[in-house]
Each structure stands twice: as C-alpha cells, then as structure tokens.
Structure 1
Amino acid sequence: MVILVYNEIVQPTEYDLLDLADARRRAALERVHNDHDYPVWHIAAPVGRLNDPNGLVYWHGRYHVFYQWGPYVPEAKAVYWGHAVSADLIHWQHVEPAIAPERWYDKDGCYSGSAVAFGDHVTCLYTGNVKDPSGARHAYQCAFDMTEGGGAKNGVAVRGEAGRSLSAQKADDALPIWRCEKWPDNPVIPVIPGGYTAHFRDPMVFGRPGDSFSASPDAAYRMCLGAQRANESGAIALFSSPNLRDWRFDGELQFAGPDAEELADFGFMWECPNIFTLKDEVSGRERTVALWCPQGLRRDGERFQNTFQCGYVIGDLDGNVLRNCTRFRELDGGTEFYAPQCFAGPDGSMLLIGWAGNAGEDGLPSLTSAGWLHSLTLPRKLTLHGKVVRQNPAPTPECFGAQFEISADGLPKDGELLPLGGQRAWRLQFITQYDEQAMIRIEAGRCSLDMHFEGGTITLDRSQTLYQGAGEQTSAIRIATFAPDWRSGDAVVVDCIFDHSVLEIYLNGGEVALTSRVFLGEDALKVFCTADGHPMPNDMTCTLPR
C-alpha cells in the first residue's frame, strides 16, 4: 500500500495507516451523531464496516471492545481492529484503532482474536490474513500487547503537526492513551497443522494458569481456533502453551454423547469458537459450554434460518473430549446475529457480545445514507439453566436511562404508547400470556415493524421496512418457536430494546434472545402495544436514554 502525502508517494508506516483511519473516523462523528439510524446504546463504527467483536476484556476499570473494522468500505476492504471503551457497558467511546494490516503476516487483514489481561498489559492474539499473487490464502496466528499511559501511541511516539500527524487523541477525551504494539517475533503460530486448509483462524484463549482448563505448567494456556479440514468439513482446533508464545497443536475438540452424532457432518467451516464454564443453576454443577459458528448448514424448519449460524453445546470437558454433550442449540433466533465472543466481567460473570450482522448483508440503508455498516449487540450476561444458556442485558437498568411506568388504564383505544412517540431509542418490558395475541408495532410514515407473540411463537415481520434481509435462507418474516412446552395461562415476560436501527428481544428471563436490524426511515416513530386487539391490559416499564 502507498499513500500520497504533500504530493509525494510514500510507503506508510503502521502509524500512518492508523492515523489516516482515525482521521476518517473523527471526520464522520458529527454526521453519524445526527443520523436517525445510528444507535446510542450499541457499538457501531462511525464510518466503514464493522463486524466481529474481538479482544473483549475488562482491564484497569474499563471494558475494552476491539472489533473488525474496514474504515474504507465500500471503496477498499482493508481490515483493521477498531477500539471502543466503556465503564458501564452502555456508554461507549471510540478511540484510535489498535492495529492495521501492514506487516507481511497480516497485510490482507487483521482478523478475529481474543485477549488475556495482565497487571501491566493486555496481550491480544489474532489471525493475520495474507493472499499471495496467485490469490491463495495464508493464515498466521499473531499477537500484540496493549499498555496504558505514556507519550506513545500504537508503538510510535505521538507527533505534532510538523511530523505530519493527521490526528491525535483530544485532551478533553479524559481517557488514557493506549499503546498497541505487535510482537517482533510474529507470527506465534506460523504453520497450519497438516490436514487443514488456510481457513484456520479466530484464536480464543480459554485456559489460563490455575483454572480448570489448565492441564499443566507446560499447558498453562489453552486456545481454540476455528478450522476447515482438508475435506472441507468444520472443526475446532486446540493448542496449548506455557507462555502465549510457544504453542503446541493438541488435536481437535471431540464430542461424545447421544446428541453428538449431528456434529459429525455439520457444515464446511467452523468460525469464532468459545469454550467456557458456567454453573448450572438447576443441578449446581460446573458445565463446559462450547460455542461456535458453523458455516454451510441448510435450513431445517425453524433451525438454521440465517446465512451462517451460531450456537452451542453443553457438556463436561475431559482433555480434548466434551462428554455428555447436548444437542446443538442456536444462541439467537433473530435475523442478524453472528461471531459472538465471551469474556469474564469484574465479578467473574460470563459476558457476551455478538455481531448484529451476517455474511452477505452489507446492503444496509445506513451505508448509503451515512457511510457506516453494522453494529454489535448489547453486552449480555450468561447463565446456565439445565440445557439452556440464558442471556440478559448486562448493563444495569439505571445505565440505560430514565425508567418509568406506563399504566394500562391510561392507554388510548389503539394501544399507542404516547410517551414513546418520536423516540428512537427505548426499552419496553411487560408481561403477557401464552394464549394472548400480543403485538408490538412500530410505525414511521409508510414503514412499520410488527412483533407478534402468541402460543409460544414470535413472528417478526420486516416486510414493510427499508431492509428485509439478504441471503437465500433469510426472509422478511421470521417465525421462531420459543416455548414448545408451555401451556395456556403461562406468563410470557417480554424485554424489548429498540435502538434507532437495532432490535433486541429477550423472553422469559433470557431463555430466548432475538437480534434484528430494523430500518424505518426518517419519519417520527409511533409505538403501539396490544393484546387480543385491545390495549395491553398490564402495566409496562419503559426506559429512555437520558
């Protein structure tokens, strides 16, 4: 890559690339903050394309979220790591990007990876993507360290105008400067083991010294990667290391149990694996959860309706074998959800953030209208209840904003929620009944979105919105059964979060979660909530951002 600086063609350093990308980010801030589709509670890049969350970590009192970022999309596809920070998981501030694709081992993209926090630094592992002149792909597993403070940024001292710096962190940002520096001896895994294609990526460190996954001092750290075998089937590769630098290939994650047969032929590639433990709230036992994204599954009724899928199995990890594993269960029933990553919060709880998008879905209206694509989900807290991983919004209720009650007695006949009129971000919580025909409707001029809850099924109808999905397995109307075992008279607890163009629905304490992108245009919004064609008979709790 070359750039033009003061009419001179120069070979840029990584600092130049990061600074140019950051200048592009800053230039877009005013535009997106006035954009009717740009979210206030969800992470979305101000410009270009965002996809997988990476390197999620809580460190020195802040949550750090890195993410795949293409700052020049649609003109160019160079993949950087963007960087956002928060103290409360709801108010995010974008800072300078962390790394750029400029070394021989990552020149065609800095792909997904994970983070390990230490006292004075954070080590992140990622996949460097390279394509040779013939177009053949090569994958290298690489690392960089993030440190805090000092007078340097991204491995190079901050330069003033005389040094042709295009941007620097503003003094009023009230944030430290984080320095990210790639390891000089990269890549840490330069060779793919035999039997696999170059689709070998997304390193996730899941075992650390002293925890239940750490096998020995020589295998103090354990790591899983998404892989494609030479026969074009998917797998999870396992590695171990005493120090994060010297890695040994330990084979594949294997599955054992009556429900494991389905996984023997389960797509052509497995991406973004996570392995972690949760305490089963039913039995009190510690169980292992393996979560990943299989590609190439065909739709099976209400299963596997998206372009690519994401789900998990639960079992008991014994070396490389996950014993007593359950059937693969999709994590999110919505139309846009992929590539989640899990990490530990400061209290030890397991948190998750996903990408509110999917492959082949770059035709969103926001790219044309405001130059940005995609968002992440809200951070979710995970708990285990038998065979189900429950998900609920991780930010505390007060972080969302001002909470108030909407009385059912005061609703107009059409069920319009007048306090939500014109509001582009809100959270609505209420209880309906299994056998009621409950509906939430959002209108904006000629556009509308309908959410129907009835008989243990949710129907999401985007047919009257400006974006109705993409891909042969995705349709404008999504039907998902969330309660096949419930009976008439059972309560359904609904937690619906709408944030400009991002919709998240959580049912019955997080038993089911659905994420979708919803574009309704610029007209003022109206929100209606009814049951059996009449105003919702129960009081509702509403939250608006401050």
Structure 2
Amino acid sequence: MFIKDEVKYRYNYHISPKQGWLNDPNGLCWFKGKYHVFFQSNPFANQPGKSYWGHVSSENLLDWQEEDFALRPDQDYDCDGCYSGSAIELNDKLFLMYTGHQNLSDSYKESQCLAFSEDGINFQKVSNNPVIENPPEDNTNRFRDPKIWKNEKNIYAVIGGESKENRGQVNLYRMGETFDNWQYQRKLAIAQKKDGIMWECPDYFEIEGDTFLIVSPKGMQDAGINGFASVYLQGDFGFNQTLEGYELNLIDLGQDFYAPQTFWDPIEKRRIMFAWFGMPGLQEQELKKQVGALTLPRVVKNKNGKLLFAPLPELQQLRTDEKALLPFDTIEDYSEIRMTPLNRHSNFLLRITSKIEGSSYQISYQDQKIEISFFDSLRNVRQSQKIDKVSELRLFLDSGLTELFINDGQHTFTNKCELIGTLVIEISGQLQVKAYTLRKGIQ
C-alpha cells in the first residue's frame, strides 16, 4: 500500500515522484528516441527505505513522463534495496547496472547486478546475478554505485568503495566476453585520510582530452555538510596507475546537492549532469513535506581543466510571461530571475520573501564577494564565495527549490528554502532584473 500522507506541495518543473522519498539519480541515458532518468525511490513513505528505481522519460529534457518502476527489491541479492547504478546501450538493448543490497544478521552485503530491457520501459534481471558478487580483498562491505561505460575496445565500470583503513576509494573493473565475466583491474583513485571514509557514486568521463572523476565522499573531515560533499578530480587516470595525489574541486556551493551523475547526450553532443536535490542528514528533517527532487539538467563544460556546470539552454523554453522587475515587486514561486549587473563590479542586493511561510532568501554582492543567506522554519544559513567579476546570475525557483547559476555555471548554489506562494522581491544597487514565469514540466 502506498502512502496517504498529505503532501504540502509538489514541484512544478523539477523531476520528482508523485509520492514518497527520492534520492540519487541513476541510469541517465538516451535510448530509442527518449532521454531516461532513473532515481532511488521509496514509494511507501517520505523517508529512506527499501530502494526501488523510479523512472521518468522525456523527448526534450523538459517535459517528463513518469514511468513504472524499473527495478524492485524482489530477489535475495537485492531484497533490501536496489541501490544506485547506471545505464549502457548494447546490442539494441538498455542495460542497468546497479547495487543489490542485502541485510545480514550483523552486517550487510552489497553486490553488483544487471537488468536489461528491449523497450527502455520493462526490465528483466539477468539470471546469473550478481555479476560481481564480492568486493576486492582490500575493500570493506561498502561497495556500491557502479558507473558503466565503453570505449573503442572494452566495457568498464567504476564502483565506489572503502578501504580496510577506512579511506574512500574507487575500484575499476573491466567486462570480459560476457556480462557475467568481470575482472577487477585496480584502484582508480584512493582518498587521502581527511577526504572521506567512503567514496560513493563515482563517475569517470573525458571532456576535450581531459579526464575527470566525480565522487561523493562520506565522512570528510572539516568539510562538506555533515561530512558529505560532491567533488571532482582532474588528473591522469592512466589505466596502469592509481591516483593518490589530487586536488578536490567542489561541484556546488549550496547545501542541498549530492550524488551527481553525468551522461553523454548523443543528440546534441554534450555531457549532461543531474544530482539529488538534497543531502544525507538534511532531507530526513523534512519528512512531512514532498521533498524528493532532482536538480535541473546542467551542461558540463571544460574550461582549462576546470569544470563549469551551466543550466541547460533548453530551459529557456519553459519561460512564459516575462517582466522587468521594479525595486519592489512580486513573482510566482515557479519562476526564473535573470540578474545583470550594470558593470562587472557593481554592488547589489536582491531579497525574496514568502508571504505564506515568512521565509526569506537573499543574494548580495559587495567588495567582490557573493553572499547567499536564507531563512525558514528549518534553516538559517549563510554562504559566501569570492568572485572577482559577475556578469550574469540566473536563479530558478520551484516551490521551495532554489538553483543559482553565476557566470554561466562558473559557480552554482543549490539550496532548499520554503519560498511558497506569491513572493515579494526587493532590489537595490546597480542591477537589471527580469523575471519569467515557468510552465509545468513534470507530469
């Protein structure tokens, strides 16, 4: 039986389930004329539970149709959850590689499993699951979130892990001649001790000749939110060496961003990223509301070895009404605000207040420092970042979700704030501001 709890609100154009819990994006891909996005889902309660794979599809990355669950925890090896994973098209079939989670009397077991589909909607688990039953000897039972990909010759997967010394690590596997034949290769990367005891949701890819690894560390020391963060590493991941010296780069500066995953869009020839619009330990505080959502799709760009995460250009097609905002004005809670400083060093302030919730969200720029502060019944947060020049800011609002993009994705802030109903806008400083009402995108 599904939950019948009252839902306070559901998002307008962000991917979200009709009910229940949502976390990590999974299986991002293009298959047979549609984009497919899967996600971790507990349809029975607004809290973590046995993970299903929720599923939505779209022809344009804007208008999403909810599909039936792709995976259910119905086998011995995944009876306590079909955990995160990824997708690959092979031989005109779509394969999902995921982690089966099984609770034991005093611990748990995580193994890697496969399911396939001919139509992208109905999936069948392979008969010889799990295809990777045990982690490497130097890895604990924390062994999950396979990201599968292929190059000209081989099919590989990176799997998140934890060493016996409690350091995050990424395990590299290569597929043999058949899907049930996987060979462990080596460690792709190992965390320094301060950088997390477990590296979840790894993602390996190349852009313009540079190779990148995304991980979501768990248990970082003096970093992230409650020890959680999402970062990328750029380096030489030659397949005969393990990367230990590295620089971690934070993907998003907000507090509600975790477990990002990317995929290659073969139609527009670009790499696109989604993430969980939430954070472990924070979303659990919001159980009385419909809180599960994914971020908007972002285009991943490489600028001199540094990644930018720009809003998908097609998002402009969601715009309906447009108006230039006055210093004191109102907008709907499903809007985009576009801010252009009169010069790249202009000081300014924009403040948003919700009449219903009494909550507020503020962006200020002064002395080449951007500051984001927001307040509601659960939050009293202030974030800042040094930015020499600001050319443009785009803020997406969706019934309590805020995504701020600065300088076409040079910096991003992803945060929840209870901005519900008609919103009051106050503007000061050298700033031109336009607002667009955004149409519905999720069915």
TM-score, structure 2 as length reference: 0.91
Q: Which SS does the other structure have where 1:188 is aligned? A: coil
CA 1:296 to 1:334, structure 2 compared with 1: closer, same or farther past 3 Å? Answer: same
| Aligned partners of 1:426 and 1:543 also within 8 Å | yes
Query: Partners of 2:411 and 2:47 in 1: how far apart?
Result: 38
Give how far 1:70 is off.
Answer: 0.8
**Equivalent in the alignment of 1:379:** 297
Query: Partners of 2:226 and 2:250 in 1: how far apart?
Result: 11
More strand by share: 2
Is 2:442 the counterpart of 1:538? no
Is 2:328 the counterpart of 1:448? no
| Aligned partners of 2:311 and 2:408 also within 8 Å | no
Query: Partners of 2:322 and 2:182 in 1: how far apart?
Result: 53
| Aligned partners of 1:307 and 1:358 also within 8 Å | no
Is 2:337 the counterpart of 1:428? yes
Alignment of 1:21-100 (within 5 A): 24=2, 35=8, 37-74=9-46, 77-100=49-72
Query: Partners of 2:219 and 2:243 in 1: how far apart?
Result: 25
- Out of 466, 487, 490, which is 2:377 matched to? 466
Query: Partners of 2:13 and 2:214 in 1: how far apart?
Result: 25
Q: Which SS does the other structure have where 2:196 is aligned? A: coil
Unaligned segments of structure 1, at least 5 residues: 1-19, 149-176, 215-219, 256-261, 280-285, 469-475
CA 1:438 to 1:320, structure 2 compared with 1: closer, same or farther past 3 Å? Answer: farther
CA 1:456 to 1:263, structure 2 compared with 1: closer, same or farther past 3 Å? Answer: farther
- Out of 274, 277, 288, which is 1:353 matched to? 274
| Aligned partners of 2:21 and 2:48 also within 8 Å | no
**Count of equivalent residues:** 435
**Equivalent in the alignment of 1:142:** 113
Query: Partners of 1:135 and 1:328 in 2: how far apart?
Result: 34
Identity %: 26
Larger mean CA deviation between 57-66 and 431-440 belongs to 431-440
**Equivalent in the alignment of 1:292:** 215
Query: Partners of 1:326 and 1:454 in 2: how far apart?
Result: 32
**Equivalent in the alignment of 2:101:** 129
Larger mean CA deviation between 396-405 and 352-361 belongs to 396-405
State the one-letter code of the partner of 1:236: V
**Equivalent in the alignment of 2:183:** 248
| Aligned partners of 1:335 and 1:478 also within 8 Å | no
Larger mean CA deviation between 319-328 and 389-398 belongs to 319-328
Unaligned segments of structure 2, at least 5 residues: none
CA 1:320 to 1:93, structure 2 compared with 1: closer, same or farther past 3 Å? Answer: farther
Task: Report Cα offsets for 1:424-463 as digits up to 9, x if no partner.
Answer: 2111112225543322222122322222223333322223
**Equivalent in the alignment of 2:232:** 312
Alignment of 1:220-299 (within 5 A): 220-242=154-176, 243-254=178-189, 263=192, 265-279=194-208, 286-299=209-222
Query: Partners of 1:306 and 1:504 in 2: how far apart?
Result: 21
| Aligned partners of 1:65 and 1:84 also within 8 Å | yes
State the one-letter code of the partner of 1:477: V
| Aligned partners of 1:434 and 1:455 also within 8 Å | no
| Higher RCO (CA < 8 A, seq sep 6+) | 2
Query: Partners of 2:382 and 2:162 in 1: how far apart?
Result: 30
Query: Partners of 2:283 and 2:378 in 1: how far apart?
Result: 11
| Aligned partners of 2:353 and 2:360 also within 8 Å | yes
Larger radius of gyration: 1
CA 1:314 to 1:141, structure 2 compared with 1: closer, same or farther past 3 Å? Answer: same
Give how far 1:245 is off.
Answer: 2.7
**Equivalent in the alignment of 1:170:** none
Query: Partners of 2:249 and 2:368 in 1: how far apart?
Result: 17
State the one-letter code of the partner of 2:351: R
Query: Partners of 2:106 and 2:344 in 1: how far apart?
Result: 54
Q: Which SS does the other structure have where 1:442 is aligned? A: strand
- Out of 393, 408, 421, which is 1:509 matched to? 408
Query: Partners of 2:219 and 2:48 in 1: how far apart?
Result: 27
Alignment of 1:184-203 (within 5 A): 184-203=127-146
Is 2:430 the counterpart of 1:496? no
| Aligned partners of 1:307 and 1:359 also within 8 Å | no
Give how far 1:541 is off.
Answer: 5.5
| Aligned partners of 1:316 and 1:325 also within 8 Å | no
Q: Which SS does the other structure have where 2:118 is aligned? A: strand
**Equivalent in the alignment of 1:477:** 381
Q: Which SS does the other structure have where 1:417 is aligned? A: strand
Query: Partners of 1:76 and 1:505 in 2: how far apart?
Result: 27
| Aligned partners of 1:122 and 1:145 also within 8 Å | yes
State the one-letter code of the partner of 2:113: C
| Aligned partners of 1:43 and 1:376 also within 8 Å | yes
Q: Which SS does the other structure have where 1:317 is aligned? A: coil
State the one-letter code of the partner of 1:58: W
Give how far 1:326 is off.
Answer: 5.4
Q: Which SS does the other structure have where 1:352 is aligned? A: strand
For the aligned residue pairs, the C-alpha RMSD in angstroms reads: 2.4
Task: Report Cα offsets for 1:272-328 as digits up to 9, x if no partner.
Answer: 00010111xxxxxx100111011111235xxx3454011111123311437797521
Query: Partners of 2:26 and 2:48 in 1: how far apart?
Result: 21
More helix by share: 1
Query: Partners of 1:459 and 1:58 in 2: how far apart?
Result: 37
Query: Partners of 1:343 and 1:400 in 2: how far apart?
Result: 22
- Out of 90, 99, 104, which is 1:118 matched to? 90
Q: Which SS does the other structure have where 2:317 is aligned? A: helix
Give how far 1:509 is off.
Answer: 1.5
State the one-letter code of the partner of 1:252: K
State the one-letter code of the partner of 2:385: T
| Aligned partners of 2:361 and 2:374 also within 8 Å | yes
Give how far 1:537 is off.
Answer: 4.2
